[in-house]
A = this chain, B = another copy of it.
Amino acid sequence: MALISFARGMPGPDLLPIAAFGDCAREALERDGATALQYGPPGGYPPLKQWVSEQHGVDAARVIVTNGSLQGFAFAARHFVQSGSRFFVEAPCYDRSLSILRKLGAEVEQVELAEDGLDVDALSGSLRAGDVVYTIPTFQNPSGRTLSLENRRRLLDLAAETGAVVFEDDPYGMLRFEGDPIPRLFELSEGSTIFLSSFSKTVAPGIRTGYLILPDELVSAIEELVLSNYVSPAIFVEAALLEFLTSGRFEPNLETVRDGQATVSPRLDRSGFGRENQPEQRGRTDASESERGGKEKIHCWSSC
């Protein structure tokens, strides 16, 4: 029988575009030549920033491409902790983000999950200006829950009333294989929240490419933090990714990943876990039947 580990969100190896990405790396170097092997700006390869900005309908200057989305989280977290912000996070919260906040010495308030994710009622009355609400509203990690449209709007209203900042982490939103998509907080707020995403689940973790979309006034502060760590992210891998994204390979790959998850999902019970494995983890993932996708198969891998 297959051994399934839920320790980390690793995509199944059969869902990784191995041959296609190798082709993209070659094609990118043919296309961009020395530029793809040189240093670049701290916010990432400009044509990739442009692609991301077009997906989200924002100015490319607001995009910072990072070495995986966790690096983007770490920069934003450091900025807000240095500014004295309190963090409100889900309980349970994505463990790596929480660990970074703890190491930064952040003041962290954990909010128990409601049935659809972050409990907006519980937040109400606690938030004040400058607080940061960090949330994964779609297929939350680790619970898999997805915040309803109504509660998304309530969260944004609450943040607007109090002057709190909403920091949306969305690594899984594009991997939905059941139910209708719910607009991101970023879209509902007309781009005024902080948005974090990743190509780890939609393309591959080993390319370590994620991105932040920031309000204009935060860009230079975060770029300063980038330059306190590295000169630029790996332009070569970003050029290869851009080729993957613009050569017609991305959308079919997304379908492959979604299909791969949908195929494995009948083997998972309603809590999202295999019925016979890892009973001690039960209850940590509990996506409803109508809200499935994102982090089911990619949080499984098999040794069989």
A11 CA to B67 CA, complexed, in Å: 23
Contacts of A35 in B (CB 8 A): 206
Known contacts A36-B206, A205-B39, A206-B236; A229/B29 CB under 8 A = no
A233 near B67: Cβ-Cβ < 8 Å: yes
Copies in the complex: 2
Contacts of A11 in B (CB 8 A): 38
Q: Does A21 contact B (CB under 8 A)?
A: yes
Residue of B nearest to A102 (CB): B228
Contacts of A239 in B (CB 8 A): 206
A71 near B230: Cβ-Cβ < 8 Å: yes
A96 near B208: Cβ-Cβ < 8 Å: no
Q: Does A237 contact B (CB under 8 A)?
A: yes
A22 CA to B207 CA, complexed, in Å: 15
Q: Does A204 contact B (CB under 8 A)?
A: yes
Contacts of A16 in B (CB 8 A): 34, 37-38
Q: Interface 1/0s, chain A 1-26, versus B by CB < 8 A? A: 00000001011011011110111011
Tell me the chain A residues, 23-62 only, with Cβ under 8 Å from chain B. 23, 25-30, 33-40
Partner of A71, one of B39, B100, B229: B229
Contacts of A34 in B (CB 8 A): 13-14, 16, 18
Interface of A is mostly: helix
Known contacts A39-B10, A67-B67; A74/B228 CB under 8 A = yes
A28 CA to B159 CA, complexed, in Å: 47
Nearest CB in chain B: distance from A263 CB, A: 17
A37 near B18: Cβ-Cβ < 8 Å: yes
Q: Interface 1/0s, chain A 193-217, versus B by CB < 8 A? A: 0000000100011111100000000
Number of interface residues of A (CB under 8 A): 56
A33 CA to B96 CA, complexed, in Å: 27
Known contacts A67-B234, A233-B67, A236-B237; A206/B40 CB under 8 A = yes
Q: Interface 1/0s, chain A 211-255, versus B by CB < 8 A? A: 000000000000000011111111111011000000000000000
A295 CA to B233 CA, complexed, in Å: 22
A103 near B235: Cβ-Cβ < 8 Å: no
Nearest CB in chain B: distance from A271 CB, A: 24
| List of 7 A-B pairs having minimum Cβ-Cβ separation, nearest first | A25-B25, A13-B34, A22-B26, A37-B204, A206-B235, A22-B29, A37-B206
Known: A38-B205, A67-B234, A103-B228. 19 other contacts (CB 8 A): A18-B37, A19-B29, A22-B28, A23-B26, A25-B25, A36-B206, A37-B206, A37-B207, A39-B200, A40-B206, A67-B233, A68-B232, A70-B231, A205-B235, A206-B235, A208-B230, A208-B233, A208-B234, A234-B237
